[in-house]
Structure 1
Amino acid sequence: MNLWSPDIYAKAWEFATLAHQEQTYGGKTEGIKINYINHIGSVAMEVMNAIQLSSHHIDSNLAIQCALLHDIIEDTKFTYNDIKNKFGQNVADGVLALTKNEDISSKNLMMIDSLNRIKQQPHEVWMVKMADRICNLYHPPYYWNNKKINSYREEAKTIFNNLNIANETLANRLDNKIKDYESFLS
């Protein structure tokens, strides 16, 4: 059985809530703004569901902390060292691997770099990347056109092809979301 610590979860959830407190993102309807912590909670939920359904050993605390903190370095004022000091090196390394390298100008090369860094981490970090993309495929923002929707779907296929061996539940969910995402094309 893959158990996680409620205290470790609460510590990471509180940190993520404070770090993302003013952030929002565009919903599927014009004029709707969603608090960003909703995305963080959704990613953690996908990871926790996969942990529960897995028969393989998973470091649940690593996976959940990385899920809750996955956008901290990329989207907030907090740094790798902040995460390392509060949550340890393994969590900080996982979050850093999940952080896009903004110095790379090409989106395609940025994705390749990201996947290469993720693949150097334990499978728990791979799980977070798949869960993140699953959540991002719930529905596109209202302002995305068909080209952007299709491009995002193609990126999801690349993620699936590179990371699907990490967890069967998340791989199946991601594969289904990729197929379903086509329905958003008009």
Structure 2
Amino acid sequence: MQQNWSQEIYIKALEKAAQAHQGQKMPGSEIPYIIHLSFVSMELIAALNVEKERDGNLAIQCAILHDVIEDTATTFEEIKTEFGEAIANGVLALTKDNSLEKKLQMADSLRRIKKQPPEIWMVKLADRISNLQAPPHYWNQEKIIQYREEGIQIYETLKDASPFLASRLATKIEEYKAFIK
């Protein structure tokens, strides 16, 4: 079976992300953060097996690197130098603008993602799929409800990029109701 992405490119991005996120944990756990990046790329790989017309290398690199600008000391220029402008632009679009009020960040992020190729949209869909697990124990009901509503906003805005991921996200959003009391 022919695939539309390269293991070597995957490994290069994963090594960069592992170095950048070294020591970070998934929120509310002792699990290394790199596991989240593996979950997101796994969702993308599953979609790319079905939606073969997509640029898998673009999607997977952005999936693995999607939090390096936001959560580490890694810069846009560093990503651009190591991975190219398309990857750097995708990662930047997936990065929240912390200069904005929290309530404005998602709409801003989605607006910037929509200007990118559909592979970047797919990363955001896959990211929220992987994040719609049991919420951290310290989240209150308001935060849980808001997080689910953001998931719906992401779904509505980006669903056209990938029928496969849109279906997965819709299912996760429905299942997330179990955490709302």
TM-score range, shorter chain: over 0.9
Whether the 8 Å CA contact 1:2–1:58 is kept in 2: the answer is: no
TM-score after normalising by structure 1? 0.94
Give the AA of the match of 1:60: G
- Asked if 1:18 corresponds to 2:15, the answer is no
Secondary structure at the aligned position of 2:99 is classed as: coil
Please point out which of 50, 55, 61 is paired with 1:59.
55
Aligned ranges 1:28-67 → 2 under 5 Å: 32-54=29-51, 56-67=52-63
Distance 1:2 1:155 in 2: 32
Secondary structure at the aligned position of 2:26 is classed as: strand
Give the AA of the match of 2:125: M
- Asked if 1:110 corresponds to 2:105, the answer is yes
Q: Which residue of structure 2 lines up, in the alignment, with residue 161 of structure 1?
A: 156
**Where has structure 1 moved over 4 Å in runs of 4 or more?**
none
Give the AA of the match of 1:99: T
Distance 1:102 1:181 in 2: 26
Q: Which residue of structure 1 lines up, in the alignment, with residue 127 of structure 2?
A: 132
Point out where structure 1 has 5 or more consecutive residues left out of the alignment. Answer: none
Distance 2:121 2:167 in 1: 14
Point out where structure 2 has 5 or more consecutive residues left out of the alignment. Answer: none
Whether the 8 Å CA contact 1:26–1:142 is kept in 2: the answer is: no
Aligned ranges 1:142-161 → 2 under 5 Å: 142-161=137-156
Distance 2:103 2:166 in 1: 21
Sequence identity of aligned pairs in percent?
52
Whether the 8 Å CA contact 2:90–2:120 is kept in 1: the answer is: yes
Whether the 8 Å CA contact 1:20–1:76 is kept in 2: the answer is: yes
Whether the 8 Å CA contact 1:16–1:37 is kept in 2: the answer is: yes
Please point out which of 105, 116, 123 is paired with 1:121.
116
Give the AA of the match of 2:39: S
TM-score after normalising by structure 2? 0.96
Give the AA of the match of 2:4: L
Give the AA of the match of 1:22: G
Please point out which of 72, 86, 105 is paired with 2:68.
72
